[in-house]
């Protein structure tokens, strides 16, 4: 796990351990990264992780996954982003910015856009009304999204990041285009898998045209979305073959969406996932046909599981919650220690509330790390969810005020 990895573009990851993306929801005023994010990423860099992948950075301020999300567009001031990259690279670590458009997975109370391949609303049961009603994108809007991904990647390079990860998983916009459940278009952007993958491929090409050869471009892809009739593991294999023909430096395999949160270990189609390294079986199969290194994430928290991942042919092990719990986990493993690095799972009957509480616990832990409180603590899921909802209400008010100033001519 501590062996360096040379990527296709020639850049080198110092080891095979990556901090996978987690939704921080910690932006300062103006949807910019501030001292809290700088401090958080410096702690991970000093903890020995070779690659840090940020949480969602949004390519369009009118469409965010949460009101505390960071937004980076053409013309966004870069000083705070430069400080973020500098902090994250403090230990020779590489830092990649995960860039994303949420598509239909936008909360209704945020007041932004819910663009989607088709006007198919989220099915979250009694919680469905929490999300905005999606609208089917026009070809001009699709072209705008492609250009926005490229502009954000260019800005990330200017700010000092080593690469970007294009989020094409977890039910966000590119993932929505890939899935036949959410993409019911009859034009060149829908129907066959090559058509459904067209947006992803066009985004990769556009980003590559705007960044230097040594700047890494990765793709986060679902191994499956774990919904009956949705994006399957066979589809994922075909998309990997299409990406083989482009300049992609890594593929991260994950899975699931808001409707089927497999990334939290739960599926909607009844399939049982492994207790740790949820997607390893899928990732190992895809690594066998991928020309670029493959990374997998999902529940990894022990050194022996990392070694199992690497032995399967997967090049990088992505660690998320465990690094929120123990930010210097790689250093501890190198020293021969094996700390318990996962909090007890939330086991409520309501799956949506369980997912919200699980995310709230991780975000609370990250805020503690950013404030310099690295000691492990056990939080009440219910109290933490309530605090998170109150905090989200305050951030929503701030975001909506910021959105009022957003230019309408973009």
Give residue 409's pLDDT.
42
Distance between CA atoms of residues 102 and 100, nearest Å: 6
Average pLDDT over residues 3-32: 97
* pLDDT confidence tier of residue 207, bands split at 50, 70 and 90: very high
CATH, residue 72:
3.20.20.70
User: Is residue 276 domain-resident?
Assistant: yes
Give residue 160's pLDDT.
98
Average pLDDT over residues 57-73: 97
Token pair listed for 292: 């670029």
pLDDT for 94 beyond 70: yes
* pLDDT confidence tier of residue 275, bands split at 50, 70 and 90: low
Lowest mean pLDDT among 5-9, 216-220, 254-258, 303-307: 254-258
SS3 263: helix
* pLDDT confidence tier of residue 231, bands split at 50, 70 and 90: confident
User: Is residue 179 domain-resident?
Assistant: yes
Domain ranges, residue 189: 5-404
pLDDT for 270 beyond 70: no
Which has the closest alpha carbon to 69: 167, 190, 136? 167
User: Is residue 195 domain-resident?
Assistant: yes
The pTM of this model reads 0.94
Lowest mean pLDDT among 154-168, 249-263, 284-298: 249-263
Give residue 71's pLDDT.
98
Its sign, for the CA torsion 228, 233, 234, 239, is positive
Which has the closest alpha carbon to 164: 38, 315, 40, 51? 51
User: Is residue 66 domain-resident?
Assistant: yes
Give residue 318's pLDDT.
95
Give residue 277's pLDDT.
66
pLDDT for 264 beyond 70: no
Which has the closest alpha carbon to 21: 48, 75, 59, 57? 57
Domain total of the chain: 1
* pLDDT confidence tier of residue 274, bands split at 50, 70 and 90: low
User: Is residue 410 domain-resident?
Assistant: no
pLDDT for 350 beyond 70: yes
Give residue 271's pLDDT.
53
User: How confident is the prediction for the chain on average, in pLDDT?
Assistant: 92
pLDDT for 272 beyond 50: no
Q: What is the pLDDT of residues 97-107, one digit of tens each?
A: 999 999 999 99
User: Is residue 409 domain-resident?
Assistant: no
User: Is residue 399 domain-resident?
Assistant: yes
Q: Check residue 296 and report its DSSP letter.
A: E
Average pLDDT over residues 382-389: 96
Give residue 315's pLDDT.
97
Token pair listed for 162: 């080593």
Q: Check residue 159 and report its DSSP letter.
A: H
Give residue 59's pLDDT.
98
pLDDT for 261 beyond 60: no
| β-strand partners of 95 | 52
Give residue 224's pLDDT.
61
Token pair listed for 173: 């916009």
User: Is residue 93 domain-resident?
Assistant: yes
């Amino acid at each position: 796990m501590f062996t360096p990895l040379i990527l296709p573009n020639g850049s080198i990851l110092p080891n095979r351990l990556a901090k996978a993306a987690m939704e921080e929801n910690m932006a300062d005023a103006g949807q910019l990264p501030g001292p809290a994010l700088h401090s958080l990423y410096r702690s991970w860099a000093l903890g020995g992780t070779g690659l840090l992948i940020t949480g969602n950075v949004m390519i369009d301020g009118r469409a965010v996954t949460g009101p505390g999300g960071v937004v980076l567009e053409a013309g966004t001031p870069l000083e705070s982003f430069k400080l973020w990259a500098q902090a994250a690279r403090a230990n020779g670590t590489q830092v990649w910015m995960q860039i994303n458009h949420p598509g239909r997975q936008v909360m209704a109370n945020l007041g932004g856009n819910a663009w989607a391949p088709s006007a198919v609303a989220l099915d979250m049961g009694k919680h469905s009304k929490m999300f905005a009603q999606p609208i089917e994108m026009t070809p001009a809007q699709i072209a705008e999204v492609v250009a926005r991904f490229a502009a954000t990647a260019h800005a990330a390079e200017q700010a000092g990041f080593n690469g970007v990860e294009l989020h094409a998983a977890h039910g966000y916009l590119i993932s929505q285009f890939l899935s036949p459940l959410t993409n019911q278009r009859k034009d060149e952007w829908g129907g066959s898998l090559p058509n459904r993958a067209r947006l992803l491929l066009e985004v990769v090409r556009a980003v590559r045209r705007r960044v230097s050869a040594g700047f890494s471009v990765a793709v986060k892809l679902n191994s499956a979305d774990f919904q009956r009739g949705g994006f399957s593991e066979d589809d994922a294999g075909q998309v990997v073959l299409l990406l083989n023909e482009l300049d992609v430096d890594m593929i991260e395999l994950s899975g699931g969406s808001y409707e089927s949160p497999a990334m939290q270990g739960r599926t909607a189609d009844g399939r049982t996932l492994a207790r740790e390294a949820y997607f390893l079986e899928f990732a190992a199969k895809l690594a066998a046909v991928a020309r670029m290194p493959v990374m997998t994430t999902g529940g990894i928290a022990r050194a022996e599981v990392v070694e199992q991942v690497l032995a399967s042919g997967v090049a990088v092990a992505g660690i998320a919650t465990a690094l929120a719990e123990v930010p210097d986990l790689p250093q501890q493993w190198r020293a021969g220690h094996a700390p318990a690095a996962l909090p007890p799972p939330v086991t409520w009957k309501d799956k949506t509330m369980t997912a919200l509480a699980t995310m709230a616990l991780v975000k609370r832990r990250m805020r503690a790390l950013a404030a310099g409180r690295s000691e492990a603590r056990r939080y009440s899921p219910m109290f933490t969810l309530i605090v998170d909802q109150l905090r989200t209400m305050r951030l929503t008010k701030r975001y909506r005020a910021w959105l009022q100033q957003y230019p309408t001519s973009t």
